[in-house]
Structure 1
């Protein structure tokens, strides 16, 4: 079996939309997604899964009902299942998300920022 490498910078160059995760790989039941963010997202949670944010480039914050965490390049955070959160970034930020296959970016909240959960790049 030939195993190919994935160039994350090259994958980021293939899309420009914000808040629209793109799948770059799968491992077992988990997907590795790249997303560009800018501005504010919506309050939401994921009732059945934790969510991992790894900052590839830029700076972002995640607001929680009881506080906030600031993240910069090379840092990561695990948001536990069921914890309501709202990501935001003043300027463009590039992130890798790791979550189970089929997770909807807005959880059960829905709205105009809900993205298709099965777009590969």
Structure 2
């Protein structure tokens, strides 16, 4: 295995809200994505989802408030917690989650990336 340059990986795509797999470890996927605008409200019934921001500002709307992440900050959305990621400007972030985690949980929208269509970069 070779080392991974995360910034270089971000330069390989422009799509928003389409996570790209950059590594795997012990059944966990390490994914990066760009966000701008709003994803959909969703939850993950059985999996926690860890977010780390590298560039921009990611707000995770929760039904009882919101958590805003800046570069170098992380937050874990606990399983079953409904959330909606929002980025006012282009934001680069990483997610670490079990391989079983569906992109938008049980919610399917035009933004949803199916498990079969996840891209490794």
Residue of structure 1 in register with 2:120 after alignment: 120
Q: CA deviation at 1:60?
A: 1.3
Partners in 2 of 1:10 and 1:47 — Cα distance?
Answer: 33
- Determine if contact 1:20/1:116 at 8 Å carries over to the other structure: no
Q: CA deviation at 1:4?
A: 1.2
TM-score (norm 2): 0.95
Structure-to-structure mapping, 1:22-101, within 5 angstroms: 22-101=20-99
Q: CA deviation at 1:73?
A: 0.2
Partners in 1 of 2:50 and 2:41 — Cα distance?
Answer: 16
Residue of structure 2 in register with 1:15 after alignment: 13
TM-score (norm 1): 0.95
Q: CA deviation at 1:56?
A: 1.0
Unpaired runs of at least 5, structure 1: none
Q: CA deviation at 1:102?
A: 3.5
- Determine if contact 1:24/1:32 at 8 Å carries over to the other structure: yes
SS of 1:78's partner is strand
Say how many residue pairs are matched.
119
Unpaired runs of at least 5, structure 2: none
Partners in 2 of 1:91 and 1:31 — Cα distance?
Answer: 25
